[in-house]
Amino acid sequence: MWLFGKAPKSAREYERNTTEFLNFFAKDLRRITVEDLQAYVRHLEDKGTSVSSIRAKLAAIKSLLTYAQRIGYCSFNVGAAVRPPKEKNTLAERILPESDVLRLILSEKNPRNHAILLLLYAAGLRISELCSLRWKDVASSEEGAVLTVFGKGGKTRHVLIGKGHMDVLEALRNGAGQEDPVFRSREGGCLDQSSINRILKKAARNAGLASLPSPHWLRHAHASHALDRGCPVHVVQATLGHASLSVTSRYVHARPKDGSSRFLAI
């Protein structure tokens, strides 16, 4: 019941994380205490689990406990009293320079792979959104095209791409129907996420990039570069589908354009 309606990948991760937790204590969810949650976090820290992984595991557990209280299975939500450990903000390390992004995209000569890299950056799509995109979701306009994107949390948004970007997509269509995926696998279905990752890693190596980015890095780059070029933060928020302006504003703080150090005498 708790996992109903969640994206398949999220559902699998949530189920795995909560199952590990419940197996660790081997007792009913209603008997879990605040001390149990705190002990589990300490156990994960002692194992050398990364802070990001601990936060992900704890988020799944807290989500289950919240739901259990909501439906009346648990009298109290003990998860509400436990805060996740603080994590260092490494966003700046995952924002590629504009020159690297352009070299990455322009050096890819395979038409389909070039379009994949271009759309990840130009539209700021998540990898799951890119994989599920179908031709019925692409509507031509005078400016280029509007993509109807079904994103995180079951939210739908509309993303405008330029005419040059649309021309690159149209060159791939080759008679495909409205229900066909924009990026097809060899078997004719939607290209999967592992294939996208391999395409990006290979392109990064061929372009001579010092680091091998993930597809989400191009989404980070979209946000940072658009803001650097003066795009209003609320427009970036709408394009990327962020739940709040505070999420989008992280990109402003990740790479500040000014600082008090330049006012010092030495």
Question: Which sequence positions are flagged as catalytic?
Answer: 126, 152, 216, 219, 242, 251
- CA 201 to CA 206: how far, in whole Å? 9
How many Å apart are CA 65 and CA 79, to the nearest integer?
6
Helix (H) or strand (E) holding 43: helix 34-46
Q: Give the burial class of 15: count Cβ atoms within 10 A of its Cβ; 0-12 exposed, 13-18 middle, 19 or more buried.
A: middle
Neighbouring residues of 65: CB distance < 8 A, sequence distance ≥ 6: 29, 32, 74, 77, 78, 79, 80
- How far apart CA 171 and CA 164 sit, in angstroms, is 11
- Residue 28 carries which side chain, given as an amino acid letter? D
Element (H, E) at 60: helix 51-70
Q: Where are the beta strands (DSSP E) in the chain?
A: 138-140, 144-150, 156-162
Phi, psi torsion values for 148, nearest 5 degrees: -95, 115
CB distance 162 to 143 below 8 Å: yes
